[in-house]
Structure 1
Amino acid sequence: MAMEQSIAPRRTPSSSPELTLRAVFSGLLIGCLLCFTNLYFGLQTGWISMMSLQSALLGYLLSLIFFKSPMSPQENVVLQTTAVATGTMPLAAGFVGIIPALSLLNRERDGVDPIRVGWIAGVGWSCAVAFFGVVLASPLRKQVIIKEKLVFPSGTATAQLISVLHRIPPPTTTSVAVRSSNITQRRRYYEPLSADDVIPDQSENAGSSPELRSGLEQERNELVQAGWRSLGWSFATSGTMTLAAYFFPLLNAIPLFGTHLAQNWLWVFSPSLSYVGQGIIMGFSTTLSMNLGMIVGWGILSPVAKHSGWAPGPVSSTTDGARGWILWVALAVMMAESFISLVPVAADLFRSLRRPKSPAFTTLGQQEFGNEDEDPETPDRLVPLKWITWGAGASISIGTILVWIVFGHEGIKPWATVIGFLLGALLSLLGVRALGETDLNPVSGVGKISQLFFALIQPRNVVANIIAGGVAEAGAQQAGDLMQDIKTGHLLGASPRAQFQGQLVGSAVSIFVTVTAYSLYTRAYPIPGPSFPAPTAYVWLSLARLLRDGSLPPKCGEFMVLGGALAAVVAVLKIRATSRGVWYAKWIPSGLIEYVYNQRRRDKDDQSIRLVIVASGFVLGEGVVSIVGLLLRTLGIGAASCWGCLPHICSCT
């Protein structure tokens, strides 16, 4: 039977509203919990998580419990988009990095007094940087998602999870039905759902037999009950351990290898299920890298620097101790890997700009399915161009004014702030492309590039250097993380306009939640301090100081060059292995662990969902109960016993 010439399918608008009150409210509720959790972990480790998978999963479970009808997949997309925009503000606004860094300034060394941002100033600063990245993400959508079809692994994984939860065809296996025959053709890699795809009615199961409806309802109830059980015990276990560690601080720093190594070398063990959950969420590649860094930094470099006299002070000191010494090596490793990861992206972008546009250059998929560069969305579902234009202009102009009001003319010149925004927009192009290909957003490299640039245009100004880097990083980080959500929406047929509006609402609410949470933490704990060392703050400040006076600790430069070169080689090997699938890919450390793990695991949807639920419970358990601990400390209720605590390590000493 002859087959008709098929064209790129156009998605029809959803029959039900997507930007609903229940979706936005649930997204804000989950996002506020994630905001506190990310701030808590960010101040401890410098790391935060998007938690998009967890947001979609929790939103689905909440909808089945508290609402009469389950959410549609598109509502779930808007929910997790709102939650991510709310939960990632601690990093976007710099409350785990540049804000603590400004409080570490020293008049003698930096030429300025410490800058401690209060609640009102924090709101002003957050308003200055909260919306620029949201506006940046929308115009990049057509290029990186529609035309280039970048994978955005986290966004794609979230779309797959939502499809499993809502019992719809997964985006990776959706087929396009050809009406003139019984033949179906597989759509190209990671294509969105369309009007031709069979999507069962989740609310009424229209056209289904009573037996099928009963079976689906029973299956859904079993999933919900199992999900809540897994979430409940993992949340309760993690929360109980957190509360016990608050009243008995020894549990936060157990001298596993003896008191001498614990007190003098900071070799302690912190049993935390939340880190287990974060490890599950981050994956083998990141967690293995962190563990290797821990062993090399604190097990090798720290003793070498101490015994060689290069870091004569206490190991915990960031000025003349091993902590500060190895920080420089870590900075070199981070910058080298970030720059290397951006090089192929920049090269591809440059080649694409120079490549002639010719109708003759069409891919096999375009020959089969027509012009796939055409946006499948109708104009009424897209973000209007005037919204983007006015939004970009308003965010830059108002943001510049707010930065000047908060930090003053001596902190950073208004024209320099504008350059920071523009530089952030330029670097976000590279960051978004790198994220779409590798699932890693090199925001640390973006911030450091900005710091290097501003060392030239505003030399010897530490405050301007840090703030300008924060402005650029905020735009790149938000644009990248929100682009993952846009990819999820594209695969599941959600309205880009509804997602954009959800992002704006989430970012606006998160301003006040983040600033309030940070204010509570600074009142209850010294930041940086034993409980919240804020390692990212030292990275920002160290580079700014280096660019100001050019001084390094003894022998640190040589190890920085060595560490940076090694990181660059590993980064090149990773890029080559990923792009070409060469034989040694699995022998790169992270690839080795993933290879062994993938040989043993069973790819079952229920097991994957259960793992995500347990990880979410571990993370949220400690994050939520940490709020209880924060309130107890604010009320003056301290530890029940400081038995076994070591000086300058436990929070009660």
Structure 2
Amino acid sequence: MGTSLILSVVFNFIVCKLNLTTGVIPSFNVSAGLLGYALVKSWTTLLEKFGMLKHPFTRQENTVIQTCIVASSGIAFSSGTASYLMAMSPRVAAEADGGNTPENVKALHLGWMTAFLFAVSFVGLFCIVPLRKMMILKYKLTYPSGTATAYLINSFHTPKGAKLAKKQVAVLFKSFGFSFVFAFFQWFFTGGDSCGFSSFPTFGLQAFKQKFFFDFSSTYVGVGMICPYIVNVSLLLGAVISWGIMWPIIETKKGIWYSAELSASSLHGIQGYRVFIAIAMMLGDGLYHVVSMLITTLLSLLKQHNSRNNSVSTSSIHEQITEIVEEDYDTKRRTEFFLKDQIPNWAACTGYVILVALAMICVPLIFNPLKWYHILVAFVVAPVLAFCNAYGCGLTDWSLASNYGKIAIIIFSSWVGLHNGGIVAGLAACGVMMSTVATASDLMQDFKTGYLTLSSPRAMFVSQVIGTTMGCIITPLVFWFFYQAYPIGDPKGTYPAPYAQLYRGIAILGVEGVSTLPKNCLKLSIAFFIAAIAVNIVCHVLRRYETKYKIYRFIPSPMCMAIPFYLGGYFAIDMCIGSLILFLWTLKNKRMADDYVPAVASGLICGESLWGVPAAVLSLVNLNAPICMKFLSAKSNARVDIFLNGS
């Protein structure tokens, strides 16, 4: 638990920084398992040298650490501190230029944010627990991230794996040290606005104005090494289409399509096209995946049902689960361990009812526009969506929690209405739905890891609860640390919190409809909404019928393409460089790349992200960097020289 707490703080800083910058967050299951092993193994090795080690470090302990960390960092994602909660704040409301009324704005405060997370974050755990046997044993769902983490943990606790793990840990700490020191070095050149390596015009000043440059972020280079190639390429393609082609063309329509007097951040101007077209692509992609996942789940369940009816019937459902076809020794042992420490279904159901009742009381007190019956409706629907999400995640490793949240924003914001605080109500309902659905799939993922590492299901559940508790406390504190140190939500700042603007835009769309959009924005949004669905359909058809060339692997992801529409392409370039490093390393030595890429990437991400802590402290005490490194055109530089010489 001590190790879990330390690493939970580390991963919360990482996720918070990623949320506040681009919102692209890779799976940290493998990184959490590796770092947990590294920290405890270092400690136990030290104890062993002094003859104080009484018990060996086991797979279950490694799994418990990983579960706690993932649960805690999962709260950092589903908490919405950089999305739906931040979207309620006066900072983002002022930028949105729509629905900026007292009842549709809520000032952020550490107390109510923590209370809200405690009220909604545990419900998903209790609603999915009764289905653990069906998901893991009966349907044998894969849960790719959970399975990969389990095999990694199992390999650590073998003689050969321990030897490799020792080398991986050494590489991780070297990568971490480089990333931290390089981030520290960069800080010295940031003594002003738009100063430092993060504003380096890599491809020229004109490209820099269109947000095409490499910002020397080792965090996103590391993220790019973990993310699939198609994700990074999709991000870059989205940046080229939007900032390279569309926005320059739309800017020529200034004064025709939208008023030339509007500020750059107004949703009635160029910003409206950036935000709402990105929202349309996300909604199109999300709607497709939700419908696709529901159909996949229903077909899979129907197939399982028909298969069971055609098989030899047994006396009871319990026997169907326990009398599994005799495969190999490992499977029987895993099943035995998984069925040994049970969590009573009555306890799970009772816990769910109590938590829903508490949420129905607490959430309306925090968000006045939401009433108890809104919460009841959300929690009646949530278990069904939680099951679909957990089942779909087991098949595809894809959690759709944010998509369900976006749908909840539109439904509840339009239900409550603009004048009754519909924007705040929709955003809060998004939090209720996201927290329930996300924690459910995370728990089932960890049950799969526990099953494969011979860990007690009860230990998995308890560690998930403890990790969630850690997250509910750590996440608001970490966010508040950044919130006090930096102008969070400023589109031109270090931490623009892009999803906050996008989520508020969805809520405005729910309460006001399309009347607020600038000219031709609706037509373009509809076109990109349809295009997102069409791209997914093409990818699905190719995936289903393509056997030889696997062309579907080269179809871009509309969800990933949408993110740069608002932010620009700088982080996509960072991530593509990460992909390039991985590609070249794989060409040179595939085995070595497979073994060490997770360690190098984890070190790069952790090092720069943790530099954010001392950097924020320096900012809080008003200690600025001594140097401002800024780049000007030759013409601008000549004017500066004349001004300085004249003064």
Sort the TM-score into its range (normalised by shorter chain).
Answer: 0.7 to 0.9
Rounded to whole Å, the distance in 2 between the matches of 1:85 and 1:278 is: 20
CA contact (8 A) 1:427 1:476 kept: yes
- Please name the residue that 1:111 is paired with: 101
- Please name the residue that 1:299 is paired with: 244
SS at match of 2:455: coil
- Pick aligned residue for 2:480 from 519, 539, 549: 519
CA contact (8 A) 1:48 1:88 kept: no
Rounded to whole Å, the distance in 2 between the matches of 1:158 and 1:568 is: 32
CA contact (8 A) 1:85 1:507 kept: yes
CA contact (8 A) 2:293 2:388 kept: yes
| 1:289 correspondence with 2:234 | yes
- CA shift in 2, pair 1:223/1:360, >3 Å: closer
Q: Give the letter aligned to residue 458 of structure 1.
A: V
Q: Give the letter aligned to residue 31 of structure 2.
A: Q
- CA shift in 2, pair 1:590/1:351, >3 Å: closer
> CA offsets per residue over residues 290-320 of structure 1, 9 Å max, x none?
2222222221222122112346578952524
Q: 1:91 deviation in Å?
A: 1.5
- Please name the residue that 1:403 is paired with: 363
Q: 1:641 deviation in Å?
A: 2.0
| 1:575 correspondence with 2:540 | yes
- Pick aligned residue for 1:537 from 474, 477, 500: 500
| 1:619 correspondence with 2:619 | no
CA contact (8 A) 1:383 1:497 kept: yes
| 1:274 correspondence with 2:223 | no
Rounded to whole Å, the distance in 2 between the matches of 1:313 and 1:300 is: 23
- Please name the residue that 1:480 is paired with: 441
- CA shift in 2, pair 1:515/1:610, >3 Å: same
- Please name the residue that 1:308 is paired with: 253
SS at match of 1:88: helix
- Please name the residue that 1:447 is paired with: 405
- Pick aligned residue for 1:414 from 372, 393, 398: 372
Residues 190-209 of structure 1: matches in 2 within 5 Å? Answer: none
Residues 312-327 of structure 1: matches in 2 within 5 Å? Answer: 312=260, 317=265, 319-327=267-275
- CA shift in 2, pair 1:76/1:378, >3 Å: closer
Q: 1:430 deviation in Å?
A: 2.3
Rounded to whole Å, the distance in 2 between the matches of 1:318 and 1:479 is: 38
Q: 1:498 deviation in Å?
A: 0.5
Moved more, 36-45 or 99-108: 99-108
- Please name the residue that 1:429 is paired with: 387
- The alignment yields a C-alpha RMSD, in angstroms, of 3.3
- CA shift in 2, pair 1:598/1:251, >3 Å: closer
- CA shift in 2, pair 1:480/1:300, >3 Å: farther
- CA shift in 2, pair 1:351/1:588, >3 Å: closer
- Pick aligned residue for 1:148 from 136, 139, 143: 139
- Pick aligned residue for 1:362 from 292, 301, 311: 311
TM-score normalised over the length of structure 2:
0.80
- Pick aligned residue for 2:522 from 544, 557, 562: 557
Residues 127-146 of structure 1: matches in 2 within 5 Å? Answer: 127-146=118-137
Q: 1:463 deviation in Å?
A: 1.1
- Pick aligned residue for 2:172 from 231, 241, 246: 231
- CA shift in 2, pair 1:359/1:286, >3 Å: closer
CA contact (8 A) 2:85 2:427 kept: no
| 1:335 correspondence with 2:283 | yes
CA contact (8 A) 1:105 1:115 kept: no
Q: Give the letter aligned to residue 440 of structure 1.
A: W
Q: 1:548 deviation in Å?
A: 1.2
CA contact (8 A) 1:43 1:535 kept: yes
- Please name the residue that 1:609 is paired with: 595
Rounded to whole Å, the distance in 2 between the matches of 1:428 and 1:579 is: 26
- Please name the residue that 1:193 is paired with: none
SS at match of 1:115: coil
Ranges in structure 2 where 5+ consecutive residues have no aligned partner? 45-52, 191-195, 313-319, 558-575, 633-647
| 1:350 correspondence with 2:298 | yes
| 1:247 correspondence with 2:208 | no
Q: 1:327 deviation in Å?
A: 2.1
Ranges in structure 1 where 5+ consecutive residues have no aligned partner? 1-23, 168-215, 647-653
CA contact (8 A) 1:50 1:84 kept: no
Moved more, 307-316 or 81-90: 307-316
CA contact (8 A) 1:40 1:623 kept: yes
CA contact (8 A) 2:367 2:425 kept: no
Q: 1:602 deviation in Å?
A: 8.4
CA contact (8 A) 1:154 1:439 kept: yes
Q: 1:600 deviation in Å?
A: 5.8
Higher share of residues assigned helix? 2
Moved more, 429-438 or 347-356: 347-356
Rounded to whole Å, the distance in 2 between the matches of 1:581 and 1:76 is: 40
Q: Give the letter aligned to residue 242 of structure 1.
A: A
- Please name the residue that 1:212 is paired with: none
- CA shift in 2, pair 1:111/1:142, >3 Å: same
Rounded to whole Å, the distance in 2 between the matches of 1:490 and 1:229 is: 29
Q: Give the letter aligned to residue 105 of structure 1.
A: A
- Please name the residue that 2:317 is paired with: none
SS at match of 1:432: helix
- Please name the residue that 1:639 is paired with: 625
CA contact (8 A) 2:199 2:630 kept: no
CA contact (8 A) 1:39 1:96 kept: yes
Q: 1:487 deviation in Å?
A: 1.5
| 1:630 correspondence with 2:616 | yes
Rounded to whole Å, the distance in 2 between the matches of 1:157 and 1:601 is: 23
- CA shift in 2, pair 1:607/1:262, >3 Å: closer
Rounded to whole Å, the distance in 2 between the matches of 1:49 and 1:230 is: 20
Q: 1:496 deviation in Å?
A: 1.4
Q: 1:358 deviation in Å?
A: 7.2
Rounded to whole Å, the distance in 2 between the matches of 1:359 and 1:231 is: 47
Identity level (%): 26
Rounded to whole Å, the distance in 2 between the matches of 1:389 and 1:220 is: 41
CA contact (8 A) 2:489 2:497 kept: yes
Rounded to whole Å, the distance in 2 between the matches of 1:305 and 1:382 is: 60
CA contact (8 A) 1:313 1:320 kept: no
Q: Give the letter aligned to residue 388 of structure 1.
A: A
Rounded to whole Å, the distance in 1 between the matches of 2:441 and 2:589 is: 28
Rounded to whole Å, the distance in 2 between the matches of 1:71 and 1:324 is: 55
CA contact (8 A) 1:288 1:589 kept: no
> CA offsets per residue over residues 365-395 of structure 1, 9 Å max, x none?
9996489999655655122213311221222
- Pick aligned residue for 2:348 from 377, 388, 402: 388
With CA pairs under 8 Å and 6+ residues apart, which has the higher RCO, 1 or 2? 2
Q: 1:584 deviation in Å?
A: 5.2
CA contact (8 A) 1:50 1:481 kept: no
Q: 1:604 deviation in Å?
A: 6.5
CA contact (8 A) 1:252 1:271 kept: yes
> CA offsets per residue over residues 240-270 of structure 1, 9 Å max, x none?
222233332321222234445534x344431
Moved more, 599-608 or 60-69: 599-608
CA contact (8 A) 1:127 1:399 kept: no
Rounded to whole Å, the distance in 2 between the matches of 1:598 and 1:247 is: 32
Q: 1:64 deviation in Å?
A: 1.9
SS at match of 2:508: helix
Rounded to whole Å, the distance in 2 between the matches of 1:350 and 1:488 is: 25
- Please name the residue that 1:180 is paired with: none
Rounded to whole Å, the distance in 2 between the matches of 1:338 and 1:314 is: 31
Q: 1:540 deviation in Å?
A: 0.9
- CA shift in 2, pair 1:504/1:102, >3 Å: same
Q: 1:39 deviation in Å?
A: 0.4
Rounded to whole Å, the distance in 1 between the matches of 2:107 and 2:343 is: 38
Rounded to whole Å, the distance in 2 between the matches of 1:633 and 1:532 is: 14
Residues 67-216 of structure 1: matches in 2 within 5 Å? Answer: 67=44, 68=53, 70-103=56-89, 104-105=92-93, 109-112=99-102, 114-167=105-158, 216=159
TM-score normalised over the length of structure 1:
0.80
Rounded to whole Å, the distance in 1 between the matches of 2:221 and 2:474 is: 26
